[in-house]
Amino acid sequence: MLDKIKNEIVKAFLFDGDFIYAEPFGCGHINATYAVYFRRETKPPVRYILQAVNTTIFTDPQGLMENIQGVTSHLRKKIQEQGGDPQRETLTLVPTRDGKLLYEDSDGGFWRSYLFIENATCHQSVDRPILFTNAAKAFGHFQKLLADYPADTLHETIADFHNTVNRYELFEKAVAEDKAGRAASVEKEIRFFLDRKADGAVVVDAIKEGRLPLRVTHNDTKLNNIMMDNDTDEGICVIDLDTVMPGSVLYDFGDSIRFGASTADEDEQNLSLVSMDLGLFEAYTAGFLSEAGASLTDEEIRLLPFSAKLLTLECGMRFLTDYLNGDTYFRIHREHHNLDRCRTQITLVADMERKMEEMKKIVAKYVNRT
Ligand code: NDG
């Protein structure tokens, strides 16, 4: 792929300078991401992000790019109004030489590019609680900036993305079909999810019955989807905007806790290292409620602790579904990778169930209803 990038793809984009080299970049499970480097005559070298969109998953890449353009333009305007630096605080698309946002290559692959945000890092884990508080503030702020975005203009890039009732149906289908012949070896894991099927309907039903509002949400709020400033540790830019769609704020809060409040990596094989850290839960809750708290309804606040469990349950079930289907969705780097990922999520769900009352107390501590 690096040859193809050099010989074809980089020539299609409006990059500044002469191509030096390209290298794989980041840790995404879905798209293929590269950094591409350019030499310039009178200015320092520059790099860009180049991404091959996974069109098996995002079947409407044009619609996807319309969303990203719409959302980043909206953010850019607000950041400018507030005196911020839009090239640092939101993603900036680099167009192709013929003015498009996507380049279709000679094999039918779709590519896009962003300016590289320098002097900032995507952290893979929380080594200091302040990072997590700052991530929470950034996601809360992102939510606030998009509160007046016209939601009906957004394409639904992945239908039913966090519809946990639907996710249960897909899971039960994968168990019944057992395409990869693995179901018998993971009976215990399958049972864990089936035992919690009722949880899957809680948020979906509340949205359907109008007890929870739909908002424009990010829907994939892992810690590594925020760039944090290397000098100040502030969360400066929310990235991976592929799943920005109408959703519940609970999806964003819950998914952040799932990933960032864990004491171990998402694919840790030693499960005795995996638990949900209440201190990190508190760090995130404090930051998130300080930014977004005032705009949340009582029902949203009541369900925040449960949402952490729900999103972890959903993600674990998605990993197991993919394992049963033969690993066709998430990129894997070793044979039972999806099963390892599923097991960490199960361990976290069980730990959250034990700690639910304490999580509720922490939320109550930071709710400011004056
Ligand atoms: C990917 C998934 C996200 C999931 C995460 C797990 C898509 C588009 O991997 O939903 O929670 O690490 O499926 N994104 O980012």
Q: Which residues of 44-62 are buried (b: 16+ CB within 10 A; e: fewer)?
A: eebbbbbbbbbeeebeebe
220 CB near ligand 1 (under 6 Å): yes
Question: What is the C-alpha to C-alpha distance for residues 314 and 162, in angstroms, rounded to an integer?
Answer: 8
Percent of the chain with pLDDT over 90: 97
CA of 336 to the centre of ligand 1 (A): 17
Say if residue 368's pLDDT is above 90.
no
Percent of the chain with pLDDT over 70: 99
DSSP bridge pairs for 19: 38
For ligand 1, atom 10, name the residue with the nearest CA. Answer: 220
At residue 293 the predicted structure's pLDDT band, cuts being 50, 70 and 90, is confident
Say if residue 29's pLDDT is above 80.
yes
Tens of pLDDT, residues 105-130 = 999 999 999 999 999 999 999 989 99
Question: What is the C-alpha to C-alpha distance for residues 132 and 225, in angstroms, rounded to an integer?
Answer: 12
- Residue 300 CA to its chain's centroid (Å): 20
pTM for this model (two decimals) = 0.96
Q: Can you list the alpha helix ranges (DSSP code H) found in 146-297?
A: 164-177, 187-194, 202-208, 249-260, 278-292
29 CB near ligand 1 (under 6 Å): yes
Tens of pLDDT, residues 129-179 = 999 999 999 999 999 999 999 998 999 999 999 999 999 999 999 999 999
Question: What is the C-alpha to C-alpha distance for residues 151 and 163, in angstroms, rounded to an integer?
Answer: 18
Predicted pLDDT at 334: 97
CA of 220 to the centre of ligand 1 (A): 6
Tens of pLDDT, residues 246-264 = 999 999 999 999 999 999 9
CA of 219 to the centre of ligand 1 (A): 9
Say if residue 45's pLDDT is above 80.
yes
243 CB near ligand 1 (under 6 Å): yes
Residue of 160, 238, 267, 315 to test ligand 1 pocket, by largest number of atoms within 8 Å of CB: 315
CA of 318 to the centre of ligand 1 (A): 9
What is the DSSP-derived secondary structure letter of residue 272? G
Tens of pLDDT, residues 197-214 = 999 999 999 999 999 999
For ligand 1, atom 3, name the residue with the nearest CA. Answer: 220
Asked if residues 365 and 287 have their Cβ atoms less than 8 Å apart, the reply is no
Task: Give the pLDDT mean for 334-349.
Answer: 98
Say if residue 62's pLDDT is above 90.
yes
- Quote the mean pLDDT of the chain: 97
Question: What is the C-alpha to C-alpha distance for residues 273 and 142, in angstroms, rounded to an integer?
Answer: 32
CA of 159 to the centre of ligand 1 (A): 14
At residue 370 the predicted structure's pLDDT band, cuts being 50, 70 and 90, is low
154 CB near ligand 1 (under 6 Å): no
Torsion over CA: 70, 75, 80, 81 (sign) = positive
Question: What is the C-alpha to C-alpha distance for residues 2 and 8, in angstroms, rounded to an integer?
Answer: 10
Residue of 33, 222, 253, 266 to test ligand 1 pocket, by largest number of atoms within 8 Å of CB: 222
For ligand 1, atom 6, name the residue with the nearest CA. Answer: 315
Amino acid symbol at 187: E
CA of 19 to the centre of ligand 1 (A): 32
Predicted pLDDT at 369: 64
317 CB near ligand 1 (under 6 Å): no
Question: What is the C-alpha to C-alpha distance for residues 226 and 124, in angstroms, rounded to an integer?
Answer: 10
The alpha-carbon radius of gyration of the chain (Å, integer) is 21
Question: What is the C-alpha to C-alpha distance for residues 174 and 203, in angstroms, rounded to an integer?
Answer: 23
Amino acid symbol at 21: Y
Residue of 220, 268, 313 to test ligand 1 pocket, by largest number of atoms within 8 Å of CB: 220
Q: Which ligand 1 atom sits closest to the C-alpha of 319?
A: 6
